[in-house]
Amino acid sequence: MEAIELSRLCQRLGYSFTDPCLLKQALTHRSANRRHNNERLEFLGDAELGRIVSRWLFERFPEAGEGQLTRMRSLLVRGATLAEVARELALGDHLVLGGGEMKSGGHRRDSILADALEALVGAILLEGGEQQCRERVLDWFAERLAQVSPDTADKDAKTRLQEHLQAFQQPLPDYQVVAIHGQAPDQRFDVQCHLPDQQQTFVAQGTSRRRAEQAAAQQALAWLEEQP
């Protein structure tokens, strides 16, 4: 990893590694190196990420029950969410992959991106300590933490739209990114949500693909609810 790439990545992360080898290990997939890869760091980061998010939710929602806290945490630390955060940090551009994974688009795969993000959490915990690790995680997840609540933890707009369509035995919506504006990490995404049966398309913009999809799904829901 070249020094300039390392510097740009650290800038996006908001953390500068004293030991560049630790950062490289966090980004190295097993397919590239069976002995020195990010699996152990991933194990450590997975546990620390859950701890940080759990404590934040516990302090932020003192009236929430165990079930609500668990569902909110699950939404925040599930693989799809971690992959989205990894994309916002452009981790895919820096992953060290074996030849097979590179050819098959491993740098875009949710599972590999999520694992790399967890490994980075583990690496920062080891080098920077608990406080710096907590600050970085809360910063990376700030947008999602601001949106989560006990009332919305169970069903987001995409889930509610899917359930609405399934209730009427209609095909599921199709989401497509139609435009990306700017450069990472300050990109904005235009996403369209197409309803096949209704031949209706809704376009929304967000600071991440996930947010744009949710906004487009919300538009589709609002339109469906207005139909006789």
pLDDT in tens, 1-32: 567 777 889 999 999 999 999 999 999 999 99
Domain interval for residue 173: 157-226
Q: What is the CA 46 to chain-centroid distance, rounded?
A: 14
Q: Return the structure tokens found at 48.
A: 């620390």
Distance from C-alpha of 219 to C-alpha of 89, rounded to nearest angstrom: 28
CA dihedral 142, 93, 119, 23 (to 10 degrees): -110
| Residue 205 backbone phi and psi in degrees, to 5 | -120, 145
Q: What is the mean pLDDT of the chain?
A: 91
19 catalytic residue (yes or no): no
The answer on pLDDT for 155 being more than 90 is: no
pLDDT digits (tens, 9 = 90+) for 70-117: 889 988 998 878 998 999 999 999 999 999 988 888 888 888 999 999
Domain limit, last residue, from 107, 123, 147:
147
Please identify which of the residues 48, 84, 88, 118 carries the catalytic annotation: 118
The answer on pLDDT for 208 being more than 80 is: yes
Question: Concatenated DSSP letters for 136-193?
Answer: HHHHHTHHHHHH--TTTSS--HHHHHHHHHHHTT-PPPEEEEEEEES-TTS-EEEEEE
115 is in an annotated binding site: yes
CB atoms within 10 A of CB 100: 10
The answer on pLDDT for 205 being more than 90 is: yes
197 is in an annotated binding site: no
User: Which residues are 192's β-sheet partners?
Assistant: 176, 203
pLDDT digits (tens, 9 = 90+) for 102-113: 888 888 888 899
Please identify which of the residues 46, 88, 101, 156 carries the catalytic annotation: 46
CB-facing half-sphere around the CA of 34: CA atoms within 13 A: 0
pTM above 0.85, yes or no: no
42 is in an annotated binding site: yes
Q: Are residues 174 and 106 part of one domain?
A: no
Please indicate, yes or no, if residue 152 is contained in any of the structural domains.
no
Q: Are residues 101 and 196 part of one domain?
A: no
Write the CATH number for 98.
Answer: 1.10.1520.10
213 catalytic residue (yes or no): no
Domain limit, last residue, from 147, 170, 185:
147
Q: Are residues 95 and 205 part of one domain?
A: no
Is 194 in contact with 201 (CB distance < 8 Å)? yes
Q: Are residues 143 and 195 part of one domain?
A: no
